[in-house]
Structure 1
């Protein structure tokens, strides 16, 4: 090639670089070959890396990226090779002092087969990353909860492995965390929580792929090259630093290796959530984290299989409604029935295990909606002008946090407006409601449409009073164990009476559950409860005729005043 040809080639290269710089709005511009070696670097290279652009030529771009984010870089470059461009990626680079610098990365490739990569970098911040993630933001300590982490990790694992990179999920546990916490001041506890959070995020893919699973229990998505023993040692050092005795606490770890190639992202997410739930529940059960990890892959596979089976049950509505009456405590009148689920494949068996699985794998909102449809179908067998039969359908606290569930339910009610006055809603697993104001908005949306709302499990914990102060409901159901404990405790009668009086003053009626004996019925009546529910009046049945006449109906006096619930 003559001098003119060389000049034109140079101009073409300069043009390409200029176009890429303009496109990428960057502080820095790199040209990389197909192996990610730096061919050209321009911009604020000294400020970012402490080296000139010429000094960076020949360096592997991977070596400039934070080790934890290398798998993500591989996934990004794989995307560029397929589509020609990528933008709005937030990763971390290694600064001149070994510090990590958050950057936004945009890149393109003119020739997906043989062309070079043009990469632009601009200073960013972690919050920009959170803004671009369509996921809940990390919790108070800067770490995701189990559900959000499972979604994030599944998404990244699929993309990273499809790009030929490797990343793993590791579980970390501090078995003696409670003992350590007892030795710390509130300030030291906050310092430890913040330090562990920052350290885990710094070593995670993308700088945010870490979760708090439980007290002293964590999970992290990290590059396969990460030395977990170093991570464990650093966390142990953090515990010694804040412990006034200098003893600190030992940290156990277990790494999960899984091939995500043949699993859908949704199933992988639910499998991970199921595994994380088992990890949390293993605390104090005598099951070591090593034992748990040894079976973790099979747990994920088991979850995927069960998810598929449960989806089939929901889609085919392979379950039926069993009814249990809620009875006015003085008159014995049946005010309404609670709709309980029974599965066709397991007639007579408690659905507790299956429902718990649905909650653990994030499927409960699908089931709650299917159950609402089933109850509406059941109510449809009665004349629409018949208001004598009313049924309460359960809504899990998990579901209330799902916009898709709320939208679908509201459309279902709009299409079946005739259910007003016949259908009620009972919120279960209220402890799972992380945003009480949003939960109250959902409750008021139901009430404004003419549907009464009951709050289940009231009195089972101190948080119940917070719920009652924030959530405006029509009735609360007193937890059965709380009723039994009150019946046994010396001051139990005073406690339960005060509870029902508080509710009465707030114009909220009360249902006492697990009323299985005449003594419990009399106790609840003396304590001022409005309604009762329990095996004393028959076990749940799909046949409403089993409650006419009401079993043990002779225990009530007739002619009392009907409640306005």
Structure 2
């Protein structure tokens, strides 16, 4: 090695040292054959051997034999000018034990025949055996989405990853042969992993449907060829197969990384749902790119609406069926320019994309400010604010909620919370812990839409609440359906035993209200008692008067019927 080369190496070594210890990992310089020219960093902690012990040795010497192919593919990608980021690869420590490390690298900017490689501790999503489909090694659908989301958050904005969806045709030779099908999936997974980001970003999304996250340097032809080769290995006597492919460029620079990941997950879930419902897969796959773009745009619109405060609150009365007194008003959001349009679609989209926490906190703060205004600051006026089960499951949102509740001591007994749910809550215990914090601070909590979707009896067992709101689908037909009446009786009986009150929504007429009283439902909500409204004036004495509501002895009463 000449003096100038040593000087250059010394300069790069200084740079390596700075980055190696800052990141607590190991950086190495490789020649074109994969031999280590220079190494520095916390090698003993990460690899079980000192950095000097790596010098002059092939990097493959410390790599688990089962990952030599993945290493070769990563080095090949670097040699071709592609950056490799966070590939998970197994190393062998001197004691014979294996360990997983993250491998990143690229071609040396001034020496094209050298590679700069960083080894570190794996970060982000890390798949385990239970995240995989059988013995194939393929990630299951949820784990693949989590992996893709994690990688998307760390992707360079000027070099976006790509997602290719692969659908295999029906193969007669596999009909009824589960062993051969698993063998094909395993072989296909091994080949696609070698092309994927990090060497593990391949998942089975459904029967015969796969996803692979890769760099722009990996072509659709190479993926298609991998499919054909995998089938030829497992089914040597069968005719060559041609898979259907669709590639999605994950260029989502307009939103924060975590929201970009959610946009991808939402788009894939919608794609899977429509495919299950009989949509033409080829057309759906072609439509993926505009779907992702539309999702990103809609997320931006929701964020701008929330941060800009472009929404209003309407208030619908909930009446004590036994006394006629208005127990409280539910705060209902209406987005500006959409007064006559239900917000359900936007709220559901926010929940599905993980943005509902932002919306819930904005609505809560608006409601609190309103409750302290002259038109609502009265001990007899209580207001309920909706909180999504997703929000109560999100640590960041829960932290913000706790901060807000430290400022609402003046609103105890007047501020009520309704837990809404359009998606299943996975950790009911964690959500119940939050609910109990809310209740201990003097706020009632209601479980909304009970009996619909996921909000079933196991929710009532796991979540200790003050009130259960019976889903309106049972109330609307109660006058004509004995089954619905039986269901209402069962809920009321159970809730009575638990010390929980009940509310019926969609009460549209006096006959339904009277039936509910006979069934011992305590509260009612619906157009019979009043539509969602805005205060009609700035004077609290007149602001809440309507054709159905009026003041009597300091309390707001239902005056009709």
Q: TM-score when scaled to structure 2?
A: 0.70
**2:197 aligned with 1:205:** yes
**2:89 aligned with 1:92:** yes
Question: In the aligned structure 2, how far is the partner of 1:520 from the partner of 1:233?
Answer: 64
Match of 1:169 among 151, 163, 166: 163
2:307 is aligned to 315
Cα distance in 2 between the residues matched to 1:235 and 1:546: 72
Deviations 1:32-70 (A, max 9, x none): 24x78546552785574779xxxx9xxx99625498999
Q: 1:74 is matched with which residue?
A: 83
* Match for residue 153 of structure 2 among 155, 158, 168: 155
Alignment of 1:334-373 (within 5 A): 334-373=326-365
Q: Distance in 2 between matches of 1:510 and 1:139?
A: 41
Aligned position for 1:454:
446
- Unaligned residue ranges in structure 2 (runs of 5+): 38-55, 93-97, 133-138, 236-241, 537-541
Alignment map for 1:436-515 (pairs within 5 Å): 436-461=428-453, 464-484=456-476, 488-515=480-507
Offset at residue 501 of structure 1 (A): 0.6
Q: Match for residue 42 of structure 1?
A: 57
Cα shift at 1:408? 1.4
Query: CA shift at 1:458, angstroms?
Result: 0.9
| Contact 2:478 2:484 (C-alpha < 8 Å) held by counterparts | yes
Counterparts of residues 376-391 of structure 1 (less than 5 Å): 376-382=368-374, 386-391=378-383
Aligned to 1:551: 548
TM-score, length-scaled by structure 1? 0.70
How far apart, in 2, do the equivalents of 1:174 and 1:331 lie?
64
Range with bigger deviation, 305-314 or 419-428: 305-314
1:385–1:462: structure 2 CA closer, same or farther, 3 Å change rule?
A: closer
Which structure shows the bigger proportion of residues in helix conformation?
1
Gaps of 5+ in 1: 77-88, 96-100, 123-127, 241-249, 554-558
Helix, strand or coil for the counterpart of 2:458?
A: helix
Which secondary structure does the structure 1 equivalent of 2:443 belong to? coil
Q: Quick check: 1:63 aligned with 2:68?
A: no
**After superposition, what is the alpha-carbon deviation per residue over 1:456-508, rounded to whole angstroms, capped at 9, x for unaligned?**
12112476111111111111111111334665444332222111111111111
Residue of structure 2 equivalent to 1:246: none
After TM superposition, the structure 1 stretch with the greater mean CA deviation from structure 2, 498-507 or 299-308, is 299-308
Instruction: Specify whether residues 468 and 425 from structure 1 end up closer, same or farther in structure 2 by C-alpha distance, changes over 3 A only.
Output: same
Q: CA RMSD in A?
A: 5.2
Mark the CA change 1:307 to 1:70 in structure 2 (over 3 Å): closer, same or farther.
farther
For residues 173-252 of structure 1, what are the structure 2 equivalents within 5 Å? 202=193, 204-209=196-201, 219-223=211-215, 224-225=218-219, 227-229=222-224
Deviations, residues 508-538 of structure 1 (Å, cap 9, x unaligned): 1111111223333233223322211112222
Contact 2:360 2:386 in 1 (8 A): yes
Query: Is 1:397–1:427's contact at 8 Å kept on the other side of the alignment?
Result: yes
8 Å contact from structure 2 (residues 478, 485) kept in 1: yes
2:524 to 527, 532, 539: 532
Q: CA deviation at 1:337?
A: 0.8
